[in-house]
Structure 1
């Protein structure tokens, strides 16, 4: 007859622990049965080993966390980069522009230079035509006219002659100034024999102005072979003047050399101080 069952002894318990197939003494809830936690950033590495506490006593406050591991010191690395390496890429439009410039043939460049030279010569020709047109306009608009001279009186003195002339400037838009040409002279001759020589005085005239001028010539009739005193035959004299005429109208200036030749016929050259002028004719011409 069997008596009541006795509790397992200590020896029996120990023997049961030694069996590998026995279930563990503590019951754990599966991880999949836990409620879903909101998504957040993963905890630091030093927290992960202690974050999943699957103890069945969930109501108890979590134990205090151990101090975090010390942050390791940052290490410095030296990287050597070759100088001929380029680590950036230009924008695509820059590469297209460079390729376009490379692909331009040399012929087009030469054509560009030739076009520039052609335009330069065209501009030069146009400028020359304009300058020529302006010069022609100024030449015809401000063209000097030959001065007009006339002998009005001839007076004979013991040692000189005095000739009174009328000078007229027919140019309507330019004034004129008369000067003696360098090495120029005013001479009075009879049959190619010199009777007197002198200088033309400086004189200025406005446009279309007429003035009288007196010219003194040093000389006499002593050495000249003239008709005898009392002869009524006229004597032909030649008065020649070499002048320099400076015409001016504002910024326009023109210099001319004028040669004046006057053929004068007189009576009483040896009888009276005032000689009678029978006829006179003065002609002027520009020498340049």
Structure 2
């Protein structure tokens, strides 16, 4: 209980103290001025009871801390859920891979006939190419759908696009070899005099290089399920002996790549 001290009737004058310094006694605290009060509060109440002006802040902080804790718990739960889904997806893909053992189809150029290129004239050329491509699907449980819409087939000499076309739409079943014949043509292609001279030299050596580029949207069929649309890209470097049909392929090398998204 607080102890109240009433004002003294006659406070001591300034500079006067009662007590004996020589005997080790310290002077008593001076009395407060008239009409003032001294309130003594126990030490434990000072730390336990906040001042009135800070009571609302204490109440606000007391309510805020649990909210922060709940937010942290929600974030941690969400991160744990995402991590668990990623792990499950990885395990599912691993199981599917072990079951189906997927492998990419292999592509091979069987025929490449060239016509319509006159190197003795400076007029624009209108080349024609008859290209035969063989696709082999070695998967035992996976089929491939090829879509003509969005596909492209181009033949290049150096960096010049000589002709273009599209793939037919077809389905390649499991353990299947499909042969696709393509008729490609270009119109009003202007070759430089230096390029014509170089091509004549390559024809005399029977080593005329071309590059075949194929881009095709595909969907993979696994059982009764189709995947999303992916893009297969095939690049073939070819060397033929002449620019008239029938031409013979001297060398060929094909590579392919898949864009999953």
TM-score category of the 2 structures, normalised to the smaller one:
0.5 to 0.7
Higher strand share: 2
Residue 247 of structure 2 corresponds to 275
For residues 256 and 139 of structure 2, the distance between their equivalents in structure 1, rounded to whole angstroms, comes to 14
Q: CA deviation at 1:135?
A: 4.1
For residue 226 of structure 2, the aligned residue among 222, 242, 253 is 253
CA contact (8 A) 1:175 1:249 kept: yes
Residue 210 of structure 2 corresponds to 237
For residues 161 and 115 of structure 2, the distance between their equivalents in structure 1, rounded to whole angstroms, comes to 16
The structure-2 alpha-carbon separation of the partners of 1:283 and 1:207, relative to structure 1 and needing over 3 Å to count, comes to same
3-state DSSP class of the match of 1:186? strand
Report the count of equivalent residues: 169
The structure-2 alpha-carbon separation of the partners of 1:227 and 1:246, relative to structure 1 and needing over 3 Å to count, comes to same
Q: CA RMSD in A?
A: 3.5
The structure-2 alpha-carbon separation of the partners of 1:143 and 1:261, relative to structure 1 and needing over 3 Å to count, comes to same
For residue 139 of structure 2, the aligned residue among 167, 171, 181 is 171
Residue 95 of structure 1 corresponds to none
For residues 185 and 228 of structure 1, the distance between their equivalents in structure 2, rounded to whole angstroms, comes to 30
3-state DSSP class of the match of 1:204? strand
Matched, 1:154 2:122: no
For residues 251 and 168 of structure 2, the distance between their equivalents in structure 1, rounded to whole angstroms, comes to 24
CA contact (8 A) 2:141 2:223 kept: no
Matched, 1:191 2:158: yes
TM-score normalized with structure 2 length: 0.55
CA contact (8 A) 1:144 1:247 kept: no
The structure-2 alpha-carbon separation of the partners of 1:221 and 1:245, relative to structure 1 and needing over 3 Å to count, comes to same
CA contact (8 A) 1:181 1:257 kept: no
The structure-2 alpha-carbon separation of the partners of 1:265 and 1:132, relative to structure 1 and needing over 3 Å to count, comes to closer
Residue 133 of structure 1 corresponds to 91
3-state DSSP class of the match of 2:204? coil
In structure 2, runs of 5+ residues without a counterpart are 1-72, 117-125
Structure possessing the higher radius of gyration over alpha carbons: 1
